[in-house]
Amino acid sequence: MMIRIATRKSALALWQAKHVADALRPLPQVTSVELVPLTTRGDEVLDRSLQKIGGKGLFIKELEVAMEAGDADIAVHSMKDVPADMPEGFCIAAVLERANPADALVGKNLGELAQGARVGSSSLRRQAQLMALRPDIRVEPLRGNVNTRLQKLEDGQYDAIILACAGLERLGLEAHISEIFSPDQMLPAAAQGVIGIECLEDRTELLQLLKLLDHAATRTVITAERAVAKQLQADCQSPVAAFGEIDGTTLNLRAMVASPDGRKIIREQVSGPADDPLALGISLSGKLLDMGAAALLAQTGTDE
């Protein structure tokens, strides 16, 4: 079976696609693997916030069109960018073992930042949690791929920026990390650090093949995390976080909903059997809604 992988053209997206290709090539059913690099609208429009132009789903749509048209067989994504509701006819056939899920501060650590320092972030989730830690800090929008963001920091546009540890580590850029946030400081986005493989649901033979790459523990955890986001009707740009960890047969799941300025944060956690992650995620989202999560999310404006 020949497999064509649709991917964005950024260095991180290409690394992830090549990583999946390297996992596929040794399988006896696979005769060849090739990459199909594509430009998405999310990559092209960099002068406006993702919320204003349609959310992180813009990084995915063109890859799905390529699969529908028969120009690609699978697409590789950062799972934190994948909406909780999949489009009809598509599925996440496999997820790889989770990398470092934490967020990192690049440039300076939190204690070194001066009063009123400018910190770049493309995420309301990060903005809210950072401002809860340091209300004096100015969080300013930051778009572009990892290297573009690092260059903007180097050029002095920001005093520090926040990036995902996984992306920096995958690109060999971990030396840029000044501080890694603990989950207590900054809870990660649902499925952060996880690579997912998407394909059409009717590709039965391909689905069976891709299942060989699926990492069961990672799928369990992100099923719970993504259920929280789905039940809260949150997208990748909402000030919502969810993070699960498996301890034996128990799944410990915590989540956070915040006002964009970080002045109001709701945190809750639940534990339960790891073999029913969906129920655990739904239970936790219900607790958050009972605590006023909907009202907080209603405060989310159109600016990052």
Give me the active site residues, please.
Answer: 81
The CA-to-CA distance between both ends of the chain, in Å, stands at 43
The one-character DSSP state at 140 is: E
Three-state DSSP class for residue 70: coil
Beta strands in 214-293 (DSSP E): 240-247, 250-258, 265-273
Structure tokens at 27: 């399988």
Closest by CA to 261, choosing from 161, 118, 127, is 127
3-state secondary structure of 176: helix
Cα–Cα distance between 77 and 195 in angstroms, integer? 6
DSSP state for residue 49 in the 8-state scheme: -
- Order of all β-strands in the sheet with 250-258: 240-247, 250-258, 265-273
Strand partners, 118: 138
Can you tell me the distance from the alpha carbon of 130 to that of 255, in angstroms, rounded to the nearest whole number? 16
Which of 37, 41, 40, 31 shows the shortest CA–CA distance to 15? 37
Give the Cα separation of 41 and 121 in Å (integer).
20
